[in-house]
């Protein structure tokens, strides 16, 4: 899918494929019934890298880079992740708000020329319950059953939603309501919600 058609798309499905040495994500356009359509991107995160970097390709062949995102520092806490196009020019950034995220995961998404978007877990009570679950003994092998949903908004105006679907593998539906939001930046943020948490 070329960049013009990608920018016109409003819904994507992000599906994780776990391997021994990397996390991989297949991004597809979403059909009206919610099933996966054409593959529009393929992301790969190297595990145990000194500094987080994810390359997002146009497809699983990995011949053409769609964009990348990389942390500005080796320590994840407080890192800003710059998203760059295939030529290395920045198209935006995102970062997690560390202190606020102790209770409810919150991200800031920035794109030049647009307002700053705040993305947070939709359900505050569920966010707290998930954190309690993480501290309970013997739960590291039992996944938290309720999915996490994020809304990215400017005040009360929602620009993008990322909803985790039930299943054995991590799978997310990305719904974009703003024509001005760069789809490459939106895809990078959606992948980061899984890869960096």
**137 alpha carbon, distance to own chain's centre:** 29
pLDDT of 25-81, one tens digit each?
Answer: 999 999 998 889 999 999 998 777 667 889 999 999 999 999 999 999 877 777 999
The Cα 80–Cα 188 span in angstroms is 13
**Using CA of residue 55, residue 59, residue 65, residue 69, what is the dihedral sign?**
negative
Residue 108 is predicted with a pLDDT of: 97
- pLDDT at site 147: 73
Determine phi and psi for 117, rounding to 5 degrees. -105, 140
Other Cβ atoms within 10 Å of 33 Cβ, number: 6
The pLDDT of residue 137 is: 73
pLDDT in tens, 69-95: 999 987 777 799 999 999 999 999 999
User: Which residues contact residue 58 at a Cβ distance below 8 angstroms, ignoring those fewer than 6 apart?
Assistant: 1, 40, 41, 42, 64, 65, 66
pTM of the model: 0.89
Which range scores top for mean pLDDT: 16-20, 165-169, 183-187? 183-187
Cα dist from 68 to 91, 143, 145, 173, whole Å: 10, 29, 31, 21
Structure-block tokens of residue 77: 């806490």
Rounded Cα–Cα distance for residues 182 and 51 (Å):
25
Domains defined for the chain, CATH in brackets:
3-195 (3.20.90.10)
Average pLDDT over residues 178-191: 96
* pLDDT for the residue numbered 73: 85
Q: What are phi and psi of 115, to 5 degrees?
A: -70, 155
Angle at 97 between CA 93 and CA 98, to 5 degrees: 130
In angstroms, rounded to a whole number, what is the distance separating the alpha carbons of residues 30 and 33?
8
Torsion sign across C-alpha atoms 95, 100, 176, 164: positive
């Amino acid at each position: 899918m070329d960049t013009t058609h990608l920018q016109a798309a409003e819904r994507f499905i992000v599906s994780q494929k776990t391997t021994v040495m990397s996390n991989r994500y297949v991004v597809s356009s979403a059909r009206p019934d919610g099933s996966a359509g054409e593959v529009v991107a393929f992301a790969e995160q190297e595990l145990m890298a000194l500094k987080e970097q994810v390359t997002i390709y146009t497809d699983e062949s990995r011949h053409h880079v769609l964009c990348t995102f990389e942390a500005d520092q080796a320590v994840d806490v407080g890192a800003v992740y710059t998203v760059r196009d295939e030529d290395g020019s920045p198209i935006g950034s995102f970062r997690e708000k560390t202190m606020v995220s102790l209770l409810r995961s919150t991200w800031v998404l920035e794109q030049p020329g647009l307002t700053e978007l705040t993305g947070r877990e939709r359900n505050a009570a569920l966010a707290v319950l998930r954190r309690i679950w993480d501290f309970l003994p013997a739960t590291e092998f039992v996944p938290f059953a309720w999915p996490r949903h994020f809304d990215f908004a400017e005040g009360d105006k929602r620009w993008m939603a990322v909803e985790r679907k039930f299943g054995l593998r991590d799978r997310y539906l990305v719904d974009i309501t703003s024509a001005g939001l760069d789809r490459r930046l939106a895809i990078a943020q959606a992948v980061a919600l899984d890869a960096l948490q």
